[in-house]
Amino acid sequence: MTRVTLFRDPDGRLSGFECKGHSGYAEAGSDIVCAAVSALSITCANALQSVAGIDPDVTEKDGYLTVRIPQPQQCHDAQVIMKVFEQGIGDIAASYPKHIVFTTR
């Protein structure tokens, strides 16, 4: 199961996310849930840099990705990108509740 946690800062702004685990929907190379989460999360990390112009802290390894927006780099564009990520992950989780758990903290 993939677990996605969205982070908020003390002011309630979206400040990053963590994705860990494999969905188990299908075998590697055929897992559409894992592919959807991976595509959305990598696109979000890349857009924070290329669209919002910030340098997020990113840690990536097999079955794990964390993206954090440094506090001084919070901006409107970063919030829009993170809200799109939140919407997309929420939609995937609603469609595949046995394979992805989505929480916010």
pLDDT at 45: 97
Written as tens digits, the pLDDT of the chain (105 aa) is 999 999 999 999 999 999 999 999 999 889 999 999 999 999 999 999 999 999 999 999 999 999 999 987 789 999 999 999 999 999 999 999 999 999 999
Instruction: Name the pTM for this structure.
Output: 0.94
Give the 3-state secondary structure of residue 1: coil
Which CA distances in Å does 66 have to 3, 30, 32? 12, 23, 20
The structural domains of the chain, ordered by start, are 2-104 (3.30.70.1490)
Q: Indicate the helix (H) or strand (E) that contains 59.
A: strand 57-61
Q: What is the pLDDT of residue 72?
A: 79
